[in-house]
A and B are shown apart, each in its own frame.
Chain A
Amino acid sequence: MDFSFTKKEEAFREELRTWLETHLPAGWLEGNRQLPEDLNEYSAFLRNWQRKLYEGGWAAIAWPEKYGGRNATLMEEIIYQQEMVRVKAPPLVNYVGIHMVAPTLMQIGTEAQKEAYIHKILTGEEVWCQGYSEPNAGSDLTAIQTTAIKDGDKWVINGQKVWTSFGHLADRCFLLARTSKGEKKHKGITVFLLDMDQPGVETRPIIQMDGKHDFNEVYLTDAIAYDADIVGEVDEGWRVMIALLMHERTGIGGQVFTLEQQFADLVVLTKELQEDGRPLLKQPFVRKTMVDLYARTRGSLLNYYRNLTKTLKNGQPGAEGSMDKLIVSELTKDLFAQSISMQGHRGLLWQEDAIYGDSYWQENYLYSFGMTIGGGTSEVQRNTIAERILGLPKDMGR
């Protein structure tokens, strides 16, 4: 058992820290972290940040060097996430491009695809979105109804995607469409690299319950893709998706480290909040709740480290990632619910009327409800844990 980092790892951390100190947007480290409201400015801001990361060699550290990465070790990726969380760095607008599309193309893409897309993903010149979910297919992606029909070297695509994060900013989409109806439902799905900038693609905003607009509906009406835009084989998209999961070797690291930080913020809040002239944190009832949350927060981090150790030893992530996802998303919800509840009735006040921290608590509270849905719902994680780790019988209908 050893929690220390090697000299090389520490040096890596130092290098990144130094870089961040000089390259984060002006005032960022001092707490001026507001993102622009206006969509175009927002988009420009995030793309600009990614461009800076690219120029510093920090946009896609896990990629091989020949594609502009650093061939980073798993531990370096972890350190990278820790440091990004520590400075509350702006979000990576091209997350889907860097962590999903490019690694997949490197593994199974054609030379032309690699040539066309990988570099532009790295620089932030082309932003990608993920077009999986549909109105009738969420947890069960085998039920997708978007169709792609071959017409010469073209594919004509019709259907609707939904909850497409960053779809309104994206230039291209990593899209799942049905190309044939097979015996087995997961057969006959194909992955396309779709150009979002064409008449057949219409993006409409969806406003989330936190008042924000991160995800969208995407309507596909005779949208066009070409043979050259297919990843892997026609009808074999499911395999592409499985291969893709294997690249997610850091799992939910970023969220674990964020949670640690949010818990520390909660402690500060419970010290600031007063009841009868004393910090709320002095009340036995609150102390119990906070010690419980402390144990669960530590537990989620330590579980993550234990699973990471397994990944380091086995070379690839196992089903334990489902446990991490379930634990962290559920705990985040509980943590923010607690933060609101402890502020009393005033906890309802938000935006410019929030009593603490610029609406931080209210916004994160509302946002937290999406965490147990996006990226696989808690119920789906429980199925995975029960079936793949404990060997319980599969769900009915599957």
Chain B
Amino acid sequence: MDFSLSEEQEMFGNYVRKYLADKGETKIAREFIKGNTEHYQSIFSGLVELGCTAINVPEEHGGMGLGALDLVPVLEEMGRNVLPGLYVETNAFAVPILEKFGTEEQKQKYLPGIAEGSQTFSIAWLEPGGSYKPSDIRMTAKIEGEDILLNGTKSLVPDARLASSLIVPVRTAGEEGKTGISLVILDLSDQTQLRGQKNIDESRHLAELTLEDIRIDKGQLLGPLHQGWEVLEEGLLAANAALVSIMVGGMDKVVEMAAEYAKIRVQFGQPIGRFQAIKHRIADMKVELETARSLAYYANWALETEAEDRVQAIFSARLFAAEAFNRAAGHNVQIHGGIGFTEEIDCHLFVKRARFYENYLGSSYDYYQKAASALGW
């Protein structure tokens, strides 16, 4: 029995922590919010140098060939700093499905780039007014000879400006069901039509993407034709396991902020951390944090070892973490009092990011049903 990260994993996490601390922690997100994307890109280059983007890329494609658990410490550090960017989407979504479903050409084309940081992915799933359900995939893809012709609009596409490519569920047949949905990889160019959408979490950018008669090569089809939904679902397991660890990182920082502030803020002649209204709330936040962390470790272990209970483990962990993160981030504002309500202090960054994840890549409602089904209920 050993339920802990390995020394190497802990050590790697520490490197990332030091690096991001050197770069000013949440200053990175704040620069990004101001519109300074170059600053973020330079930080990202540093993470690439540390090896973060190579961790789970197979060795034959220029990576380290490690697994989901090795991403955990990196994800926690990113979460602690509300880091912008597409690490989850690239390393925890695109990599595993490319590895499992990609053609040899696709692997050659994308995986080495991911490892060396020149290639990033985002996911264009939702459409205007639509949900995550298969029936709301309306963007069409017509196979014409060696081409695929794309028409339609995607909404809330995360950080498309940072992405070199998008993974896009499109309709290749049928009208409603899962069958007939395929995934395509769309390489972005400066010409791609994007309209920014303002969102409360300004450390993540969202955009609407309109495709009118866009032609891509048939080789950009990812996984089997009409069976893209299954590929997507497989990718969602890995993406969700990673999201849990990112949220754990966020919560970790929130609990730390609340506890540290409660030690130094004096009112009524006492540090407020002596008042149990504050103290016990922070203790509860800590308990939820550690529970989420245990669930996150297990979720990633289950993913990596293809454990039988991986689906319910991952989805229930995601649900627990999202709720706990939102709760803790809210409490953190409250514990900081008036200053917590300001833009100046970091509390709000976590509130917004926590809400960003709540219904990201699937609604909590859907995940409740999916977890229950996986449990055989």
Contact: A392 with B377, CB < 8 Å?
Answer: no
Residue A288 interfacial (CB < 8 Å): yes
Q: Are A386 and B292 within 8 A (Cβ)?
A: no
Contact digits for A1-32, partner B, Cβ 8 Å, 1 yes 0 no: 11111000000000000000000000000000
- Stretch from A43-51, A304-312, A337-345 forming part of the interface with B: A304-312
A-contacting residues, B354-377, CB 8 Å: 365, 368-369, 371-372, 375, 377
Chain B positions 274 through 299: 1 when the CB is less than 8 Å from some CB of chain A, otherwise 0? 10100110111011001111110110
Residues of A within 8 A of B298 (CB): 298, 302
Q: Which of A298, A309, A391 has the most CB of B within 10 A?
A: A298
The answer on a CB contact under 8 Å between A391 and B4 is: no
Is A303 in contact with chain B by the CB < 8 A criterion? Answer: yes
B214 close to chain A: CB less than 8 A? no
A260 to chain B, nearest CB (A): 13
Q: Cβ of B372: which chain A residues have Cβ within 8 Å of it?
A: 281, 287, 290-291
A390 and B259 CA atoms in complex are apart in Å by 7
A78 to B3, CA, bound (A): 14
Main secondary structure of the interface of A (DSSP, over half): helix
**Does A223 belong to the interface (CB within 8 Å)?**
no
Tell yes or no: A296 within 8 A of B by CB.
yes
Tell me if A284 and B69 are in contact (CB < 8 A).
Answer: no
Does B84 touch A at the CB level, under 8 Å? no
Which residue of chain A lies nearest to B307 when distances are taken between CB atoms in the complex? A3
Q: A382: CB under 8 A from chain B?
A: yes
**A309 neighbours in B (Cβ, 8 Å):** 1-4
Contact with A along B1-36 (1 / 0, CB 8 A): 111111000000000000000000000000000000
B2 to chain A: which residues have CB within 8 Å? 1-2, 309, 312
B224 within 8 A of A: no
Question: Chain B interface residue count: which class?
Answer: 35 or more
Q: Which residue of B lies closest to A308 (CB)?
A: B1
CB interface residues, B 139-194, toward A, < 8 Å = none
The answer to the question of B262 belonging to the interface, with a C-beta cut-off of 8 Å to chain A, is: yes
Across the interface, which residues of B come within 8 angstroms of A298, CB to CB?
295, 298, 313, 316
Closest to B5 in A: A1
B219 within 8 Å of A (CB atoms): no
A284 to B364: give the CA distance in the assembly, Å. 12
B263 within 8 A of A: yes
Chain B CB count within 10 A is highest, among A323, A379, A390, for A390
A392 near B291 (CB under 8 angstroms)? no
Q: Determine the chain A residues whose CB is within 8 A of the CB of B295 once the complex forms.
A: 295, 298-299, 302
Contact of B319 among A291, A379, A386 (CB under 8 A): A291
Known contacts A299-B295, A393-B273; is-contact A308 B3 (Cβ 8 Å):
yes
Q: Does A300 contact B (CB under 8 A)?
A: yes
Contact of B287 among A288, A295, A323 (CB under 8 A): A323
Separation in Å of the A385 CB from the closest CB of chain B? 4
Give the CA-CA distance A308 to B3 in the complex, in Å: 8
Chain B residue at minimal CB-CB distance from A301: B294
Give the residues in chain A near B240, CB-CB below 8 Å.
none
Complex Cα distance, B1 from A290, in Å, reads 28
Contact of A291 among B273, B283, B316 (CB under 8 A): B316
Q: Which residues of chain A are near B110, meaning CB under 8 Å?
A: none
Are A393 and B274 closer than 8 Å at their CB atoms? yes
Within 8 A of B (CB), among A352-398: 379, 381-383, 385-386, 389-396
What total of chain A residues lie within 8 Å of the partner, measured CB to CB? 49
Contacts of B290 in A (CB 8 A): 303, 306, 320, 323
A271 to chain B, nearest CB (A): 8
Shortest A245–chain B CB gap in Å is 19
Residue numbers in A under 8 Å from B313 (CB-CB): 298
CB distance from B358 to the nearest CB of A (A): 14
For the complex, give the distance between the alpha carbons of A30 and B297 in Å: 37
A303 vs B1: C-alpha distance when bound (angstroms): 13
* Neighbouring A residues of B3 by C-beta, 8 Å: 1, 3, 302, 305-306, 308-309
Residue of A nearest to B285 (CB): A390
A267 at the interface (CB under 8 A from B): yes
Chain A residue nearest in CB terms to B262: A392
- Report B-chain residues with C-beta under 8 Å of the C-beta of A390: 255, 259, 282-283, 286
B317 at the interface (CB under 8 A from A): yes
Assess A392 versus B297: contact at CB under 8 Å? Given A1-B3, A295-B320. Answer: no
- The smallest beta-carbon distance between A288 and chain B, in angstroms, is 5
Say yes or no for B87: interface residue by CB 8 A criterion.
no
A5 to chain B, nearest CB (A): 7
CB of A306 within 8 A of CB of B283, answer no
Residues of A within 8 A of B284 (CB): 382
- Report B282-340 residues with CB < 8 Å from chain A CB: 282-284, 286-287, 290-295, 297-298, 301, 312-313, 316-317, 319-320
Give A292 to B259 CA distance when docked, in angstroms.
27
Chain A neighbourhood of B263, CB < 8 A: 391-393
Q: Nearest Cβ distance between residue B282 and chain A, in whole angstroms?
A: 6
The distance from the CB of A391 to the nearest CB of chain B, in whole angstroms, is 7
Which of A78, A296, A323, A382 gathers most chain B CB within 10 Å? A382
> A269 CA to B32 CA in the complex, in Å?
51
Flag if B282 contacts A299 (CB, 8 Å).
Answer: no
Min CB–CB distance B331 → chain A (angstroms): 13
For the complex, give the distance between the alpha carbons of A287 and B316 in Å.
12
Known: A302-B298, A312-B1. A294 touches B369 (CB 8 A): no
Contacting B1 at CB < 8 Å: which of A5, A320, A385, A395? A5
Instruction: Select from chain A the residue with minimum beta-carbon distance to B375.
Output: A294
B271: CB under 8 A from chain A?
Answer: yes
Instruction: Determine whether A129 belongs to the interface, using a CB cutoff of 8 Å to chain B.
Output: no
Question: Given the known A-B contacts A75-B1, A305-B3, A393-B273, are A291 and B371 also in contact in the complex, defined by CB atoms under 8 Å?
Answer: yes
Q: Give 12 new A-B contacts, CB below 8 A, not counting A282-B377, A295-B317, A382-B276.
A: A1-B3, A78-B1, A287-B368, A290-B372, A291-B319, A291-B372, A291-B375, A303-B290, A309-B4, A312-B2, A392-B279, A393-B271
